[in-house]
Structure 1
Amino acid sequence: MPHFVPHDAAGSGTPVVLLHGSMNTRRQWRLLFDDLKSTHRPVAVDLTGYGEAPFPEDSAHHSMDVEARRIHDLVHGHLGEEGACHLVGHSYGGAVALCYAVLYPFHVKSLTLFEPMSNHLLAEVNHPLQHDGKQLIDAIISLHGNGDGVGAAREFFNNLTGSNAFDLLPAGAQGALSGGVGKMLLDYRTTVETSMSLSDYRQIDCPVCLATGRQSPELTTTISGILCDNLKQVTSVAVRGDHMAPVFNATEVNAVVKGFLAELSDEPIPEC
């Protein structure tokens, strides 16, 4: 019996499954969720180890395939949806969305991805940035292992935003990020040790919108560039901000998502 997946669902029509990034929760997409309720059926999901979803019981065998299956069981099992859905994913959530599209190709109408952290691609194409990513994770592991959760979260956040903005965040936000470091490290492992490959992604037949931040670090935009060069039906978009633009520039990122969905629909999505 699959575990219940914490989620929010509303509206009617084609489901739009919203997948958040590491060290966040389904609340990341609350503004987009509300915007889509009048035209689609938004479904915002807590990925394992975040929000109300417990940490994986068997972390040694946890994988993106497991994440994808629990989403599929939610949407097409618990919620009873029969047709294909749109998927929207940020960072780790984007990597999971790609995995879902490979495993369940007939259940996906489109993908909207913001800098998916499909870290295995760097090693697959032997890109030198794979070593930068490993060094970053090793530094975070060291800090986290020494009990410095705040320092580990700071290292992660500042490197992915290309700034020193962590110390400007409210104490509550810093604490929430610090509490998610353990699962983030597991997310990284699952995106490196995955069975997914570029060959799998080249088989994805649905339309894909791939967005990046203009101020994002080279590590995240390089992965997006590899995907852009290999996906069949891809539209690339750049927005103001960095890797965390879906959180800190939600208005512009959400407009990209809504515009892309409108292009795929007979009914335009109204402006908010």
Structure 2
Amino acid sequence: MLHVVPHDAAGDGTPVVLLHGSMNTRRQWRTLFDELTPTHRPVAVDLTGYGEAPFPEDPECHSMDAEAERVHGLVYGHLQARGPCHLVGHSYGGAVALCYAVLFPGAVKSLVLFEPMCNHVLDETDHPLQHDGRALISRITGLHDRGDDEGAAREFFNSLTGTDGFHLLPDGARKALSSGVGKMLLDYRTTVSTPLTLSDYGQIDCPVCLATGRHSPVLTTAISAILGRHLTRVRTVTVPGDHMAPVFYASEVNALVKEHLNSV
């Protein structure tokens, strides 16, 4: 029995596939989804292990290729889209969007990426921050292994926002983030172990809008800077906020997405 990938879809026109970040769900894009419905066909997807989507059956074999193929099957199989689509990806979702563009170049009209967490590029370029990324994941893994997923989520959130704001989140948000720690750790592993290279990304032949937050941590902005030097048709933009700007500065990020879609 085939299982339909959990998603929301509405509207007509060119599909815009919305890919959320780690420890989030397709609901991350609910405002942008509503804003795009009159002019496009937004498709918000739950990536594996988040929202209504089950955890990968075989985590050891999970990959970004599998995430991208799953999205492709939804958009061009179940939804029967015609013509290339736009992809909008935040963090891990941005890494999946880049993988998708490499695997299915004819299916992509453009990309909007907010700090895609392609962690492997730090290793590929021997960037000193590769050690910071591993140290962060080591701390989170230790907390997770001890059963302290709230502590692990706090470490993740505060590190990627450069704040001590986790305790200020509503209870529901803290619980939701905590429940996603296990999959987030798998996301990190898949983005480090992917066989994709910067040369692969350099072959992407579509317009790319690459956005970063003005106050984002050096780890995420370093990854974006490396990608920006290798993507060939890229426009780089800075927006208010930090790595979580698509959530906490949604109006500014959504305006950027719509401006990009109207320009390509």
After TM superposition, is the score higher than 0.5?
Answer: yes
**2:248 alignment counterpart:** 248
Partner SS for 1:33: helix
Partner SS for 2:31: helix
- Aligned AA (1:9): A
**2:234 alignment counterpart:** 234
1:67-106 matches, cutoff 5 A = 67-106=67-106
**1:223 alignment counterpart:** 223
Partner SS for 1:229: helix
User: Deviation above 4 Å: which 4+ runs of structure 1?
Assistant: none
- Aligned AA (2:182): G
| Structure 2 segments unaligned to the other structure (5+ residues) | none
What is the aligned-residue identity percentage? 72
CA offset at residue 4 of structure 1? 1.5
**1:49 alignment counterpart:** 49
**2:188 alignment counterpart:** 188
Aligned residues, how many? 264
Partner SS for 2:230: coil
- 2:145 is equivalent to residue 151 of structure 1: no
- 2:173 is equivalent to residue 173 of structure 1: yes
- The 1:2/1:129 distance shift into structure 2, 3 A limit, reads farther
Distance 1:25 1:158 in 2: 19
CA offset at residue 2 of structure 1? 4.9
After superposition, the C-alpha distances for 1:152-211 in whole angstroms (9 at most, x for unaligned) are: 000000000000010100111100000000000000000000011101000000000000
**1:127 alignment counterpart:** 127
**1:59 alignment counterpart:** 59
Check the 8 A contact 1:15/1:86 in 2, yes or no.
yes
- The 1:2/1:133 distance shift into structure 2, 3 A limit, reads farther
CA offset at residue 82 of structure 1? 2.1
After superposition, the C-alpha distances for 1:34-74 in whole angstroms (9 at most, x for unaligned) are: 00001100000000000000000011000000000000000
Partner SS for 1:237: strand
Distance 2:2 2:203 in 1: 28
Distance 1:57 1:133 in 2: 26
Distance 1:3 1:183 in 2: 20
Distance 1:109 1:263 in 2: 12
Check the 8 A contact 1:6/1:53 in 2, yes or no.
yes
**2:259 alignment counterpart:** 259
**2:35 alignment counterpart:** 35
CA RMSD of aligned residues (A): 0.6
Partner SS for 1:112: strand
CA offset at residue 256 of structure 1? 0.4
CA offset at residue 26 of structure 1? 0.2
Check the 8 A contact 1:213/1:240 in 2, yes or no.
yes
**2:142 alignment counterpart:** 142
CA offset at residue 232 of structure 1? 0.6
Give the alignment's TM-score, normalised by structure 1. 0.96
Distance 1:37 1:143 in 2: 41
Distance 1:67 1:171 in 2: 29
**1:110 alignment counterpart:** 110
Partner SS for 1:206: coil
